[in-house]
Amino acid sequence: MTSAPLALTSPDGSLRVEFRWCEDRFVHQILSGEASSDENAAMASVNGTADQAWPCSPPIQQLSLESLPVGDALLGVGSAGVSHWSVSVHWQESATEPTLFFDFACRCKQTPEFLGSTYHTNPRFKIEPGDGSQMSIEGERTEIRPAVTDASGTLRWTYSIKGC
């Protein structure tokens, strides 16, 4: 795997998402434009380990930056246990300020123990769950999950992130 990060940066440079390879998966962080001068200007994903069937964030093992007619997007897939994840990350076109849009799905052969995305909470970033998704904040962790996780099949959750 490459050690160079895959990233999307807003046209005005005020917001960026960076995915880096770590052990057996890509991990990511959201950075504000001032991240180089302020270590508090980042919000990182909380990730799992290779032995977890239901990690606290999706285990993305293949990721590419694609140029699409609507703009650049990061597209990825991965697996853990007997489940398979996919992700699409792109800029939200209708937003009045730079806003990243995350769209995750997981094909589950059994009811998940946990399914969602987890971040180290940072008040400098605003997360909005999308349709069919819910968010909770407990201590220093923010979780975004599908609204329904009591079944097998393909489950999906979406959210947007912008700087405050």
Q: For 126-153, what is the mean pLDDT?
A: 94
Q: For 89-115, what is the mean pLDDT?
A: 92
- In the structure, what pLDDT confidence band is assigned to residue 27 with cuts at 50, 70 and 90? very high
Distance from C-alpha of 92 to C-alpha of 116, rounded to nearest angstrom: 20
Decide if 117 contacts 34 (C-beta within 8 A).
no
Q: For 34-49, what is the mean pLDDT?
A: 77
pLDDT given at position 35: 56
Q: In the 3-class helix/strand/coil scheme, how is 98-138 assigned residue by residue? A: CCEEEEEEEEECCCCCCCCEEEECCCCEEEEECCCEEEEEE
Distance from C-alpha of 73 to C-alpha of 95, rounded to nearest angstrom: 16
pLDDT of 94 above 80: no
pLDDT given at position 29: 96
Query: Is the CA virtual torsion 109, 62, 51, 45 positive or negative?
Result: negative
Report the share of the chain in percent with pLDDT over 90.
80
Lowest mean pLDDT, pick from 11-15, 42-46, 75-79, 121-125:
11-15
- In the structure, what pLDDT confidence band is assigned to residue 164 with cuts at 50, 70 and 90? confident
Structure tokens at 29: 């962080």
pLDDT averaged over every residue in the chain: 92
Domain boundaries, the chain: 6-163
Residues 50-66: pLDDT tens digits? 999 999 999 999 999 99
Helix and strand numbers (H, E) in the chain are 0, 13
Neighbouring CB atoms inside 10 A of 94's CB total 6
Q: For 113-131, what is the mean pLDDT?
A: 96
pLDDT given at position 151: 81
Task: Find where tokens 């962080």 sit.
Answer: 29
Distance from C-alpha of 75 to C-alpha of 93, rounded to nearest angstrom: 17
Neighbouring CB atoms inside 10 A of 110's CB total 12
pLDDT of 3 above 80: no
